[in-house]
Amino acid sequence: MTAASTAIVIGAGIAGPVAATALKQAGISATVYEAYPVASDGIGGDLALAANGMRALGIIGVDDAVRAIALPITGQIMSVNGRGLELPGLDGVEPMQMVGRGELQRVLHDRAVEAGVDFHYDKRLATVENTATGVAASFSDGTTATADVLLGADGVRSTVRTLIDPAAPGAGYTGLLGFQGSADLDLDLDPGVMTFAFGKRAYYLYWRTRDGRVTWGANLPSKQYLSTTDARKIAAADWLTTLRETYAGDTPGEELANLTTEDTLQVLGAIHIMPPIPYWHRDRMVLLGDAVHAPSNSTGQGASLAIESAIQLARCLRDLPDPGSAFAAYEDLRRERVEKITRRGARTNSAKTPGPVARRFMQTAMPLFFKLMNFEKTIGPEQRYAIDWDERVTVPPA
Ligand SMILES: Cc1cc2nc3c(=O)[nH]c(=O)nc-3n(C[C@H](O)[C@H](O)[C@H](O)COP(=O)(O)OP(=O)(O)OC[C@H]3O[C@@H](n4cnc5c(N)ncnc54)[C@H](O)[C@@H]3O)c2cc1C
């Protein structure tokens, strides 16, 4: 018998639809409630799914649909002061798949609907009450819903997190604001080769797309925290001025900023990183995805970890007799892995704004550093991680 028959899933980003589909596959009926009025809220930007995330998507049969909308990242270059060095890859591991966030959410939504999941939009979770047999969720429009368990896949500003523990720490701010732009620039670069560039004042990354344009992401250092909404209140023209000043003198950052226009600039706002969260679950509520483990964009793992957690949580609810033991087993399977990757993200974030001396050192030391660095040891366990869906979950040792 499963730990629950019905589940409310809060959030139709990435973790939510994957969890709902996996729950259906596990014999548990799931309904998704999303605060935004429509599917794919237009937050914009692209994200790269790592091999571990793609493998986990295969469990719910949506990996090929994602590959069909993706650009495989076939090469990676690290560049300091405009001088690049090719990064080694992992043997036999699928390349990262770059996808538009909106398109990814549409594909995940469509797969969930195909599996029998219902979606309700314009439903912002406000409170949750425990009932004798389950949970009752109330939404800000006054409506309610009941189920055996409630999954909080509601992102870095999670409401469910504070309902589980009012004292839970909030998402940390990396000190970086995210932007994405697109430029018509003739760079000698194959489509799918990604460059991670340390500019004079800020970090950025860029890659050529199939249409020949160059897409780039900027990580702008900013003492002021600006949510996506607040950052978007500032005119795109003003942000372009700031980005052009920031990347002036960088190759090709200066040209990328100069050639990006207001209509192709996407303002993404503060980039977050979650500190360790003491309580992942309480009673019949549990957290997954960025709500509990946002490792920051520097890891390239946020979405992939969210997908893995969604699948592992569904396995635990399928195999264990009650929500408490299922949630404990899920946390046991996930906590160490996600916190380790988050620590790597924090280290990378602090290296994104090196001073001039550190940059000169990086440029000289980089070839030796890469020669000595064991990519298989650092990145291998992240990307080779595989979930055996058919294996039965057992209660973790006390
Ligand atoms: C600039 C940037 C670049 C990134 N690049 C990468 C990358 O290359 N690779 C990678 O793997 N990850 C990347 N990430 C991280 C990745 O986007 C997240 O890890 C991923 O989106 C987490 O998915 P999620 O479903 O947990 O949360 P989200 O995608 O944030 O979804 C949460 C959903 O919950 C909804 N919601 C919130 N509150 C409520 C409520 N009260 N009631 C109902 N619904 C609610 C939200 O509207 C949203 O739809 C990047 C992030 C940023 C900011």
| Token pair 């520097």 in the structure block, residue | 298
Low-confidence ranges of the chain (pLDDT < 50): none
Separation CA 178–CA 397 (nearest Å): 42
Q: Which of 21, 32, 34 to mutate to test the pocket of ligand 1 (most atoms within 8 A of CB)?
A: 34
Residue 228 alpha carbon to ligand 1 centre in Å: 12
Cβ of 205 less than 6 Å from ligand 1: no
Residue 155 alpha carbon to ligand 1 centre in Å: 5
User: Each residue of 129-147: pLDDT tens digit?
Assistant: 999 889 999 999 999 999 9
Strand partners, 8: 31, 150
DSSP 161-180: HHHH-TT---PEEEEEEEEE
Alpha helices in the chain (DSSP H): 15-25, 51-59, 63-68, 101-115, 159-164, 228-233, 236-246, 253-259, 290-293, 302-319, 323-350, 356-372, 375-378, 380-383
Q: DSSP state, 298?
A: G
Residue 358 alpha carbon to ligand 1 centre in Å: 32
Q: DSSP state, 262?
A: T
Residue 208 alpha carbon to ligand 1 centre in Å: 24
β pairing state of 118-120 and 96-100: unpaired
Residue closest via CA to ligand 1's atom 23 equals 14
Amino acid identity for residue 49 in this structure: L
Q: Which of 107, 121, 122, 154 to mutate to test the pocket of ligand 1 (most atoms within 8 A of CB)?
A: 154
85 SS3 class:
strand
Amino acid identity for residue 222 in this structure: S
Q: Which of 47, 122, 180 to mutate to test the pocket of ligand 1 (most atoms within 8 A of CB)?
A: 47
Separation CA 217–CA 131 (nearest Å): 46
Task: Write down the pLDDT at residue 44.
Answer: 78
Task: Write down the pLDDT at residue 363.
Answer: 62
Q: Specify the ligand 1 atom closest to the Cα of 48.
A: 8
**Nearby residues of 195 by Cβ (< 8 Å), 6 or more positions away:** 76, 77, 78, 79, 84, 189, 205, 206, 207
Residue closest via CA to ligand 1's atom 15 equals 302
Amino acid identity for residue 249 in this structure: G
Separation CA 375–CA 198 (nearest Å): 20
Q: Specify the ligand 1 atom closest to the Cα of 304.
A: 11
**Tokens at 292, concatenated:** 């509990």
Peptide bond into 276 cis (omega under 30): no
Cβ of 125 less than 6 Å from ligand 1: yes
Q: Which of 271, 290, 298, 385 to mutate to test the pocket of ligand 1 (most atoms within 8 A of CB)?
A: 290
Task: Write down the pLDDT at residue 375.
Answer: 83
| Token pair 């028959």 in the structure block, residue | 5
Cβ of 56 less than 6 Å from ligand 1: no
Residue closest via CA to ligand 1's atom 27 equals 155
- In whole angstroms, how large is the CA radius of gyration of the chain? 21
Cα atoms in the 13 Å half-sphere on the side-chain side of 257? 26
Residue closest via CA to ligand 1's atom 2 equals 297
Burial class (CB in 10 A: 0-12, 13-18, 19+), 75: middle
